[in-house]
Amino acid sequence: MNKSKNYTPGFIMVLHTFGRDLKWNPHIHCLISEGGYSDDGFWRPVHHFNYTYLRNAFRTALLDEMGRRLGS
């Protein structure tokens, strides 16, 4: 398997702003494919996601974008 290729995973994210009790509770649900396609159409399966890394990377990207748009 060529690890130097770029692979693109599939994902869907949904923003929820309220919980079951209709109180303010902003959170995101995310579904991520267990692999990704390379630019030449090759599928590479992934059997493990580092949840801590994904959570921290998403939080960093979100806060950076909010700071850029809202001013830090």
Calpha distance 23→34 (Å, rounded): 33
pLDDT of residue 1: 53
Residue 37 inside a domain? The answer is yes
Residue 66 inside a domain? The answer is yes
Residue 62 inside a domain? The answer is yes
Q: Between these two residues, 72 and 34, which has the higher pLDDT value?
A: 34
Closest CA to 15 of 6, 5, 24: 24
Number of domains within the chain? 1
pLDDT band at 72 (very low <50, low <70, confident <90, very high): low
Residue 62: which domain range?
7-70
Residue 1 inside a domain? The answer is no
Which residues neighbour 26 within 8 Å (Cβ) at sequence distance 6 or greater? 15, 16, 17
Residue that has been written with the tokens 């702003």 in this structure: 17
Q: Is the pTM of this model over 0.75?
A: no
pLDDT band at 65 (very low <50, low <70, confident <90, very high): very high
Q: State percent of the chain over pLDDT 70.
A: 94
pLDDT band at 54 (very low <50, low <70, confident <90, very high): confident
